[in-house]
Amino acid sequence: MKSDSEIAAPIKLILSDVDGVLTNGQIIYDAAGFETKAFHVRDGLGIKLWQRAGFSFGIITARNSEIVTRRAEELGITFLRQGCQQKWDAAVELMQEAGCGPEQTAYIGDDLPDLAVMTRVALPVCVSDAASDVRKAATWITKLPGGTGAVREMIERLLHAKSKWDSLVVQR
């Protein structure tokens, strides 16, 4: 079995699903029909720390949402694909844009549409409340469920394994 350091060493790009990973999976519509989503602030800081360490982060989602566009802009995420029914095709495009291959990519998901990417990248990760088939495909399973800081948990583990965490969080 490989150590975290061996697994993390080649990873330069994290790709993430949205609903059920960056959110708790609930899709809420208000009385006017507007969609709302809740994002965990710790995931946002984790993404920023990952980027500050010199790595790339991207989002792939089957749905289209202005809220996701706004959150991506807030976090400086330029690798974004929405409305993707074929997540692997979107992943290939984003990897090319980021200058990475599957062997340098981690993907975090929670449900069956994520398997197309998870089964082809170096580090498949899922949230603790993922579908059972997704859990079987994952190398790492977070302790936290989607929408509660699971992405941050994965990023912390990667940055610790790369010996980059302390230099990013120590106040100077």
Q: Are strands 35-36 and 56-60 parallel, antiparallel or unpaired?
A: unpaired
pLDDT at 171: 61
Helix, coil or strand: residue 87? helix
Where would I find the H helices in the chain?
4-8, 41-52, 66-75, 87-98, 115-118, 132-137, 150-161, 165-169
pLDDT at 10: 98
pLDDT at 1: 85
17 known member of a binding site: yes
Q: Where are the domains of the chain?
A: 4-163
Task: Please give the share of the chain, as a percent, with pLDDT higher than 70.
Answer: 99
- The model's pLDDT over 41-74, given as tens digits with 9 standing for 90+, comes to 999 999 999 999 999 999 999 999 999 999 999 9
Q: How does the average pLDDT of the chain come out, rounded? A: 96
- The model's pLDDT over 107-148, given as tens digits with 9 standing for 90+, comes to 999 999 999 999 999 999 999 999 999 999 999 999 999 999
Assigned CATH class of 4-163: alpha beta
19 known member of a binding site: yes
